[in-house]
């Protein structure tokens, strides 16, 4: 991962050391020395744009509200959000498929569209599933999805160099999403 010493710069496309379909391969430095602690968009000496993260304080877990066993991808959700909801992009920053594959959604330097009133300072992660075959809420997270969820939460906290709080969408709305209590399922990493 290309981290410029003394800053939080990462070249565009690196996205926290994750590439679509791959696991985290290299951990970033534990301490990031920035004047403000909240980096912004900048251009390096070679004229390449680099992403510098916005101030993120929480990670919010979602489900796609699709039946157990039905695998969809980030592009399908992007289509629902862009063409169905008329949003500018997919609302989530990351999507985790049934086999645990991590797909990128909206760039993390952009404010998401996943929890009304809580998008500015959060990252939205959506796992595929969350409903039984009759359309009722059900925790359908596969072991592979849970493993990837834990990995991305860990990586985001390391890169941001702070303990971002962990929440479910259902903590901020009357929806069942993500179809479980985050405080119970992920009690060991809250």
DSSP SS3 for 3: strand
Chain segment 58-103, per-residue pLDDT in tens: 999 999 999 999 999 999 999 999 999 999 999 999 999 999 999 9
- Is 167 annotated as catalytic? no
**Is 110 a residue of the active site?**
no
Q: Give CA–CA dist 188/86, Å, rounded.
A: 38
- Specify the 3-state DSSP secondary structure of 188: helix
62 counts as catalytic: yes
β-bridge partners, 43: 49
Q: Is residue 155 part of a domain?
A: yes
120 counts as catalytic: no
Residue 97, domain member (yes or no)? yes
State the residue range of the domain holding 94: 58-189
Residue 142 lies in a domain: yes
91: its two tokens: 């609302």
Report if residue 63 sits inside a domain. yes
Is 175 one of the catalytic residues? Answer: yes
The CATH number assigned to the domain holding 123 equals 3.40.80.10
What is the percentage of the chain residues whose pLDDT exceeds 90?
A: 66
Catalytic residue among 58, 110, 162, 175: 175
Residue at 8 is within a domain = no
- Is 15 contained in some domain? no
Q: Tell me how many domains the chain contains.
A: 1
Q: Catalytic residue among 9, 15, 93, 169, which? A: 169
Domain contains 28:
no
15-49 pLDDT, tens digit per residue, is: 444 444 434 433 343 333 333 344 444 444 455 54
Q: Which one is catalytic: 9, 15, 81, 92?
A: 92
The Cα–Cα gap between 44 and 133 comes to: 51
């Amino acid at each position: 991962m290309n981290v410029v010493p003394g800053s939080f710069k990462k070249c565009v496309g690196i996205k926290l050391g994750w590439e679509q379909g791959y696991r985290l391969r290299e951990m970033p430095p534990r301490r990031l020395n920035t004047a403000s602690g909240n980096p912004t968009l900048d251009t390096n000496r070679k004229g390449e744009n680099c992403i510098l993260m916005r101030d993120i304080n929480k990670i919010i877990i979602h489900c796609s509200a699709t039946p157990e066993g039905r695998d969809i991808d980030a592009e399908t959700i992007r289509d629902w959000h862009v063409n169905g909801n008329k949003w500018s992009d997919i609302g989530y920053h990351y999507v985790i498929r049934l086999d645990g594959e991590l797909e990128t959604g909206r760039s993390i330097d952009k404010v998401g569209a996943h929890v009304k009133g809580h998008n500015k300072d959060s990252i939205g992660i959506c796992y595929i599933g969350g409903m039984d075959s009759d359309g009722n809420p059900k925790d359908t997270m596969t072991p592979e999805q849970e493993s990837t969820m834990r990995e991305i939460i860990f990586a985001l906290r390391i890169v941001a160099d702070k303990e971002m709080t962990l929440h479910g969408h259902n903590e901020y709305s009357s929806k069942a999403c993500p179809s479980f209590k985050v405080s119970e399922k992920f009690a060991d990493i809250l």
